[in-house]
Amino acid sequence: MAAGKSFSPWVKLGKQGSDSISPGSYGGWVKFRKPPKKYPTTAQQKKIGEGGRQMGKECKGKKGAAFRECRHKIIA
């Protein structure tokens, strides 16, 4: 852990049941984990994101065949 921290804010809690006597198989269990690392966005990811935003603007409110036709024009 960085800078002398003994725990991470990213935790996974065990299952808790509604019965206080028998809380579940992993009642008091806590798993500490590292936070996800940042990574650079690839050109393909940027292309997919832009296509999705464009499709959201142009195809909004369309249903069925009209939506599929609109989506096909944008993706192609």
Q: What is the pLDDT of residue 1?
A: 44
**Number of separate domains in the chain:** 2
- Are 30 and 48 in a shared domain? no
Structure confidence at residue 56 as a pLDDT band (50, 70, 90): very high
Task: Report if residue 2 sits inside a domain.
Answer: no
Owning domain of residue 11: 7-38
Q: What tokens does 46 get?
A: 């940027």
| Alpha helix (H) residue ranges in the chain | 43-58, 64-75
Q: Are residues 47 and 66 in the same domain?
A: yes
Q: Is the pLDDT of residue 50 over 70?
A: yes
55 in any annotated domain: yes
Residue 68 lies in a domain: yes
Q: Put residue 32 in one of left, alpha, beta given phi > 0 → left and psi -120 to 50 → alpha.
A: beta
Q: Which of 2, 18, 22 is nearest to 10 (CA)?
A: 2
* Model pTM score: 0.48
Asked whether residue 34 falls in the same domain as residue 50, the answer is: no
Give the separation between CA 55 and CA 62, rounded to whole angstroms: 11
Tell me, yes or no, whether 17 and 30 share the same domain.
yes
